[in-house]
């Protein structure tokens, strides 16, 4: 895994084998961040990265100048790894060990971007439950964006807040707005 752009551009990060993760590929990540770059100023963003895993997406945001990033994962090894890389690269990530739904139910903040990449075994209903909870709890700013990464076998187009879908390689990104 590598950081594609920003102050840490080209930095390679080796993921330990004990992490149960499937990092977003460089090709998919680059396409995703091009979409975000066309719509937002990174320095102004407040980001929530649910199911952070290796921290791949958070590192990319941090490298591009985002100062307020919250990472949430329920795996202790993932949380330790993200903390180590965050310290090594001097990123100021807020890292929380928690179940994503429990975190959302207790969260009192609003975000410009909420990215979530749950295990590919998740079903449509589980994605909808997370998206609905974000909207019910008003966790997204008025100009905010929810981005769900999922397999191509999942379709989230029936959600009332669905905006668009982009496919890259073996994965898809679905975008949701208020």
Beta bridge partners of 6: none
Superfamily of domain 26-176, CATH level 4: Vaccinia Virus protein VP39 (3.40.50.150)
Angle, helix 56-63 to helix 26-39, in steps of 10 degrees:
40
Residue identified by tokens 């330790």 is 80
How many Å apart are CA 2 and CA 8, to the nearest integer? 9
pLDDT by residue for the chain (178 residues), tens only, comes to 999 999 999 999 999 888 888 888 888 999 999 999 999 999 999 999 999 999 999 999 999 999 999 999 999 999 999 999 999 999 999 999 999 999 999 999 999 999 999 988 899 999 999 999 999 999 999 999 999 999 998 999 999 999 999 998 778 999 999 9
pTM score, two decimals? 0.96
pLDDT of residue 117: 95
The domains of the chain are located at 26-176
How many Å apart are CA 8 and CA 63, to the nearest integer? 5
Classify each residue of 109-126 as buried b or exposed e, where b means 16 or more C-beta atoms within 10 Å of its C-beta: eebbbbbbbbeeebeeee
pLDDT of residue 134: 98
How many Å apart are CA 75 and CA 66, to the nearest integer? 24
How far lies 4's CA from each of 31, 34, 164, in Å? Answer: 11, 11, 24
How far lies 78's CA from each of 15, 134, 144, 151, 165, in Å? Answer: 10, 23, 27, 21, 28
């Amino acid at each position: 895994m590598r950081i594609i752009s920003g102050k840490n551009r080209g930095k390679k990060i080796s993921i330990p084998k004990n992490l149960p993760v499937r990092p977003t590929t460089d090709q998919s990540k680059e396409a995703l961040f091009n979409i975000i770059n066309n719509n937002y100023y990174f320095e102004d963003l407040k980001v929530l990265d649910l199911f952070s895993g290796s921290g791949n997406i958070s590192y990319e945001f941090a490298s591009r100048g985002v100062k307020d990033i919250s990472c949430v994962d329920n795996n202790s090894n993932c949380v330790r790894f993200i903390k180590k890389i965050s310290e090594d690269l001097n990123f100021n990530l807020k890292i929380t060990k928690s179940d994503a739904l429990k975190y959302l139910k207790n969260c009192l903040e609003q975000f410009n971007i909420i990215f979530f990449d749950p295990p590919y075994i998740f079903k449509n209903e589980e994605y909808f439950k997370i998206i609905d909870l974000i909207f019910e709890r008003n966790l997204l700013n008025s100009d905010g964006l929810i981005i769900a990464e999922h397999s191509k076998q999942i379709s989230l187009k029936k959600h009332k807040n669905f905006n668009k879908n982009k496919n890259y390689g073996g994965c898809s990104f679905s975008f949701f707005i208020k």
